[in-house]
Structure 1
C-alpha cells in the first residue's frame, strides 16, 4: 500500500512540474509582448520608375507618421532590383538572413515569384507583393502572402471613358480629318506585361463598345519609359503627321515622352494625349493643356495600405476599418479619372 501511495504522489508531483513549465512557456510567447521595433525589407523592381518612386516616397512618409502614432521604431530597408529578377531574389534572400519581420516585393517578373515564395515560406516571414500583381495561383501557395494594388483593366476602361466623354460632347474636336474614325497610336509598357496588355485592350474595347470607330496607325512597346516613348512618337510624327488624332499611353511617363516630341512639332501635329498613373508631372501637363487626361493610380493609398497591412501582420493588431482585405489576401485601391474638369481637386488630394 505504501508503495502504491508513493507512486501516486510521484505522478502528482510530476504533473505539477509539467504544468508549471507549460504556464512559463505561455507567458513567454512573443505575441503577448508589446512590439517596439519592426524591420521591413522592400525590394522595388526599379527605383527610377516615377510611379514606383512615388509609392516609395509615400511609404516613408507613412512610416514616420506611424512611428509617432504608435511610439515604435520602424526600420525600412528599401532597395532596387534595377529590372533584374535574379537580383531581386538575392535581395529577398538577404532580408530573410537578416531576420526581417516582414518583406514587401514589387516584382520584376510577375510570372516568376517561385524562388521568393519558397524562401519566405520556409523562413515563415509574411510577404506583401505590391503594384505588379503575381498570378493568383502563386499567391495561393501560402496563407501569409498578400497583394496590394489596383485592378489593371479598370484603368484601361477609364481611359476609354475619358475619350468617350470628349467624343460625346464634341466628336469633331477628335475627328479632325472628318472621316468618322479616331486615328490613334498606342504606347505600350513592357512586352507581355499584364497591366500593359489589359490597358491596351480595354481602352479600345471601351471606345468601340460606345459606338465609335477607331483606326490604329501604330502600336509600339516603350517599356514605361519617357525617352523611349519620345523616340517612338518622333517616328510616328514623321510617318503619319497630322493624321494622328489621339495618343494612348499605358502610363504617364510614356505620355509625357509623347508630349515632349509633339511640343517640338506643334506646327505639324496636335493630338489628344491620355496617360495612366496620375503622376505630379502629368497633373501639371493636364493643367497646362499639354495632356488631355490621365487615370489616377493611387500611389499614396497603396503605400499607406501596405504599411497598415505590414504593421497589422507583425503586431497582430486589427486592420483599420477603412481597409478591406478581400479574400484574406488582397487590398484593392480604386482608380480615378483626371481631366481639366477636376485636375485642381485631384492636385490638392495627392499632396
Structure 2
C-alpha cells in the first residue's frame, strides 16, 4: 500500500513538472510571436528631389506618420536630386536592403518597369506616388505595385475656373488692353511630364470653353523650380511688358518665382493697375500668404498629408496581405492600380 502511494506521488510530481515545461514552452512561443509582430515595418522612400517644395511636404507628413506609429514603422528617405542616374544608383543600393515596402517618387516617369525589374525578386509592395508613370502596365503585371496621385486635368480645370471667375467679375482688371483676348504666359513643369501637359492643356481648355479667347505669348518649361521661373518671367517682361495679362504656372514654386520677378519690376505690389494675374497649384503656405495679400490670384490645393497617408495605407495593406484599399475611402480608377486624390480650389 505504501509502495502504491509512493508510485502515485512520483507520477503526480512527474505530471506537474511536465505541465510546467509545456507552460514555459507555450510562453516562449507566445513571446516569440509577439516579438515578430512588434518588429517595425521598414519602408524605403526614394524621392524625386528633396528640394522640391511639395515633395518635401510629403516627406514631412510621412515623418509625422512615423511619430504617430512609433515602434510600428520606420521610414528611410533617399534623395534622387532630380537626376535619374542618381536615383538609379540609390535604387541599385537598396536592392540588397531589408525594406518591407518601397515607395518611389520617380525622377524619370518612364522608369517604372526598370524599378519593378530591380525589386520583383524581393516580392515586396512598391508604391509609386505623385509623379505619374507614363505607363501603368508594369504595375499590373507585377501585382504588388500601385500608384497614388491626382487627376492633373482637374487641377488645370480649377486654375482655368479661377481665371474665368476674375474675367467675368472684373474684366477690366485682367484684360488690360480691352481687346477681349486673354494674353498669357504658361510656366510648364517639365517637358515630357504627364502632369505638366495635362495641367497646361486643361487650364486653357477651361478658359476657352467659357467663351474667352486666348493668346499664348510664351510657354517656358521651368522644371517646377522657383528660380528658373523667376529668370524666365524677368526675361519675358522685357520682351512683352504690359501685354502679359496672366501667368499660369503648373505649380506654386514657379508661380512664386513669377511673382518675385513681377515685384522686382514694379508689378503685383498692391496697385491693381499694375497687377498681373498669377495662378499656381499646390496651395503651399507661402502661396496662400501671397493670395491673401492680393499678389497672387489663386492656387489649387494638393494635400501633401493625404498623399503621404494614402501611400502609406496602401503599402501597409499589401504588406499585411489585405486588399490594397482596405480601411480607406479611396477607389481605383479604370486602370485598377491607381487612385486619384481630389484637388481643392484656393482663391482670394
- TM-score with structure 2 length normalisation? 0.84
Larger mean Cα displacement after TM superposition, 307-316 or 320-329: 320-329
Q: Which residue of 1 aligns with 2:341?
A: 333
Q: Which residue of 1 aligns with 2:50?
A: 47
**1:1-351 correspondence runs (5 A):** 34-67=37-70, 72-134=71-133, 135-266=135-266, 269-316=274-321, 319-326=326-333, 328-340=336-348
Is the Cα–Cα contact under 8 Å of residues 46 and 104 in structure 2 kept in the other structure?
A: yes
Larger mean Cα displacement after TM superposition, 75-84 or 259-268: 259-268
Is the Cα–Cα contact under 8 Å of residues 92 and 103 in structure 1 kept in the other structure?
A: no
Is the Cα–Cα contact under 8 Å of residues 183 and 215 in structure 1 kept in the other structure?
A: yes
Q: Distance in 1 between matches of 2:338 and 2:191?
A: 25
- Deviation per residue, 1:30-84 (Å, 9 max, x gap): 9xx63532100010011100010011001110121133xxxx3322110101122
- Aligned residue-pair number: 309
> How many Å apart are 1:335 and its aligned residue?
0.6
- Deviation per residue, 1:182-216 (Å, 9 max, x gap): 11111111112111111111111110011001111
Q: Distance in 2 between matches of 1:141 and 1:92?
A: 20
**Unaligned residue ranges in structure 2 (runs of 5+):** 1-28, 268-272
Q: Which residue of 1 aligns with 2:270?
A: none
Q: Distance in 1 between matches of 2:274 and 2:56?
A: 32
Question: Runs of 4+ in structure 1 displaced over 6 angstroms?
Answer: none
> How many Å apart are 1:258 and its aligned residue?
0.6
Name the CA shift for 1:191/1:147 in 2 (closer, same or farther; >3 Å).
same
| Larger-Rg structure | 2
> How many Å apart are 1:122 and its aligned residue?
1.8
**Unaligned residue ranges in structure 1 (runs of 5+):** 1-26, 341-351
- TM-score with structure 1 length normalisation? 0.83
Aligned-residue CA RMSD in angstroms?
2.2
1:141 aligns to what SS in structure 2?
helix
Is the Cα–Cα contact under 8 Å of residues 274 and 292 in structure 1 kept in the other structure?
A: yes
